[in-house]
Amino acid sequence: MNWRGVLAIYKFELNRFRRTLWTGLAVPVITTSLYFIVFGAAIGSRMSEIGGVPYGAFIVPGLMMLSLFTESIFNASFGIHMPRFTGTIYEILSAPLSAFETVLGYVGAAASKALIVALVILATAHLFVPLSIEHPLLMLLYLLLVAVTFCLFGFIVGVWAKGFEQLQVIPMLIVTPLTFLGGAFYSIDMLGEPWRSITLFNPVIYLINGFRWTFFGTADVAFGVALAATFGFFLLCLAGIWWIFRTGYRLKS
């Protein structure tokens, strides 16, 4: 295991984040505050509880997941796309690094940045609502699993994208709408048929509800089902990256 090479990629990617540290942390703080002002105050005053959970606390896991998805995909996709754009990807491919070590460096750095942002949002949420986490260790482990999974997905997006415009297509036009429609700010039990049944085909709903269960011990979807869906997506992303390095798809051309 070439830990020196992995650490070099990891530190290089984190240094890029450090240069925009205050901007990167200020944006989620401001965004979270606005969500609480709009959703927590305006809607929360008319909807006191959902499933026995105060509405202000109920939306915290959804807010964290929304930012985690976006940050994970953007950081990982941008990290691998830049070497392709500048042509330095060939230096990485010719270095004494295996595919696993290369992915570990990029995904590890992207996941670290995404987790920092998610925890900053959690700290900001504490300023607005009283919040207790029923399964804190499980929450952190689940948060890590989701971050790594979407960083792997972002890595695939970064390899697939032919330009910077395409980097925004999947997170902005697919992931963000699916998150808003996946119970981030409401319970799917509030939906009538057939919309409730249709919503169950949204994969994001399982990730959000699995995470919400670690907070409150209750969710619209059983935790076992949510964990299985998340782990299944993780394995699917691993298979996609294995295929990319196996075939050299858009890495060697």
The answer to whether position 195 is within a domain reads yes
Instruction: Give the chain's mean pLDDT.
Output: 87
Residue 199 in any domain: the answer is yes
Domain extent, residue 192, equals: 3-247
pLDDT of 46 reads 67
Note whether residue 252 is domain-resident: no
Query: Does residue 45 register a pLDDT over 80?
Result: no
Structural domain contains residue 28: yes
Kindly report the number of other CB atoms within 10 A of residue 49's CB atom: 12
Asked if the structure places residue 253 within a domain, the reply is: no
User: For the chain, how many structural domains are there in total?
Assistant: 1
Q: What percent of the chain has pLDDT over 70?
A: 95
Q: Is residue 162 part of a domain?
A: yes
Q: What integer pLDDT is reported at residue 106 of this predicted model?
A: 94
